[in-house]
Amino acid sequence: MNNPVIHEQWLTTITELTAEHYPHWVLFQNGSCVILEAEKEDPSADELAQMALEVLKEQASRPALSVHAYPEGQLIALDEHSWLLPAGEGVYTVLKLDEFQEEAPSEFAIWVKARQKQRLDLEQARIIYVNCSQKNRYCS
């Protein structure tokens, strides 16, 4: 998915959600976000990217990405136009209404799309943004 408008919406949403408590996170091309607890005080963007890739590789072996394992109640509605779906410790997928053809997608449809996006991010591992500072200095 190469939609700069959607990517910008994801960045805005994640920045708002993480601003105070989670300064280190990595956003992948399809909307997966890995929130990291860095061991160093000020890790580089490359270090954070490598950590996020390792987290996604670890996730790849888990059955949680199966469409057959639909966990009701895990979907977090951020507002009427966006959702967040946890996919394991520190891994989330952001979805925006603009990504759906339906005007009011069901929770199951949102969940299926999130899992599809997570699977793509696991396979492609394309990072589009790394937030790498506790002092609001962004590295991409």
pLDDT digits (tens, 9 = 90+) for 57-85: 887 666 554 444 555 557 778 788 888 88
Please compute the mean of the pLDDT values over residues 100-115 and round it to a whole number. 86
Cβ neighbours of 18 (radius 10 Å): 16
Per cent of the chain over pLDDT 70 is: 74
Least confident of 12-16, 79-83, 109-113, 127-131: 12-16
Long-range Cβ contacts of 106-111 (<8 Å, 24+ apart): 107/72, 107/75, 108/70, 110/75, 110/83, 110/85, 111/70, 111/71, 111/74, 111/75, 111/85
Please compute the mean of the pLDDT values over residues 115-128 and round it to a whole number. 86
pLDDT of residue 137: 45
pLDDT of residue 76: 77
Q: What is the mean pLDDT of the chain?
A: 76
Q: For residue 17, which amino acid is it? A: L
